[in-house]
Chain A
Amino acid sequence: MPLGPLPAAVPPSWYLTLSAILFALGVLGFLLRRNIITVFMSIELMLNAVNLSFVTFSYVLKRADGHIFSFFVMVVAAAEAAVGLAIILTVFKNRQTLEIDEVSTLKN
C-alpha cells in the first residue's frame, strides 16, 4: 500500500481490509466479553463485516449478486436475533444471570 499524498479514490482492497479489521474486532469481543448480550452483538458485528466484503466484491465484479447475498445475510441475522434474544430471555428467567461463565451446566 503506497503511502503518500491522499489519492482521489481508494482501491477496493482498502474496503476489504476494513472488513477484516471489523471482523477481527467482532472475534475479539466474542472471545473477551462475559455478558451474553455483548457476545451476541459481537456476532452481529462479524456479520456486518462480511456484508461489507460482499458489497465490495459486487462492486469489483460489477454484478448485483453480492448485494443479494448481503440482503440474505440481513434476513438470517434478523431471524437469528429474534431466536437468540428469546433464548437469552429464557436463560435469564431460569438463572437470573447474564454472565456466560455462570451458565455452565454442560461443563464436566
Chain B
Amino acid sequence: MDALLFLVFAAIAVICGINLVVQTHPISSALSLVGVMGALAALYLLLGGEFIAAAQLVVYAGAIMVLFVFVIMLLNAGTERKLAIRPWGKYLGAPLLLLFLGMMAYLIQRILPPSSPVVFGAFQGGTPAEIGRSLFTVYLLPFEVTSVLILIAILGAIVLARKEVD
C-alpha cells in the first residue's frame, strides 16, 4: 500500500514537473507547480511530516502560488515565443542532465546507510508538538532571525513595487 501510494504521487509529481517545463504559457506552468506541491505534501505525510505537509499546502500551494498567479494575471503574461535552443545546448544538455541524474542515483544508493523501508506511521517526530518543541528551544535564534528576514523582504517588496525606477 505504501509503495503504491509513493508510486502514484511520485508519478503525479514527475508528470506535473515535466508539464511545468514544456508548457509555454505561464499559467499552465503555475498550475503544474501546484500539482507538484500537492503530490509532495502527500509524500511528506507518508514520511511522517504532518506539520510540514500542512505547511506545504498552506504556505506553498496556498500563499506563494496565489502570489504567482496574481502576478501572471496582473502582467497579462501571454505565451512565450518559440525558444531557439543553442546547438551546444541541444547536443550537450540532455547527456549532461542524464549524467547528473545517474551520478545522484549512484551516490544515493552508495552512501545512504541500509535503512528500513518507509512505512507510514513509523516516524512520529513530525507532529506539530515535536516541531514546535525544537523550534522554540534548539532553533530559537534562527526562528527569530527569519522573522527579521520576512520583515526586510516585505519592506523591500513594498519599496520595489511602489517606486518609479528610471
Residues of A within 8 A of B (CB): 1, 6-18, 20-22, 24-29, 31-35, 37-38, 40-42, 44-45, 48, 51-52, 55-56, 58-60, 62-65, 67-68, 70-72, 74-83, 85-90, 92-94, 98-99
Contacts and interface: CB of A to CB of B under 8 A. Distances in A.
20 contacts: A12-B118, A13-B108, A15-B6, A17-B105, A20-B100, A22-B13, A22-B14, A28-B21, A32-B83, A41-B29, A51-B52, A55-B47, A55-B126, A67-B49, A75-B150, A77-B60, A85-B68, A88-B71, A89-B74, A90-B165
Interface string B1-38: 11110110010011001101100101001100100110
Interface in B86-142: 89, 93, 97, 100-101, 104-105, 108-109, 112-113, 115, 117-119, 122-123, 125-126, 130-131, 134-135, 139, 142
Nearest to B104: A20
Contacts, number: 240
**Majority secondary structure, A binding face:** helix
Interface of B: 1-4, 6-7, 10, 13-14, 17-18, 20-21, 24, 26, 29-30, 33, 36-37, 40, 43-44, 47-49, 51-52, 55-56, 59-60, 63-64, 67-68, 71-72, 74-75, 77, 80-81, 83, 85, 89, 93, 97, 100-101, 104-105, 108-109, 112-113, 115, 117-119, 122-123, 125-126, 130-131, 134-135, 139, 142, 146, 149-150, 152-154, 156-158, 160-161, 163-165
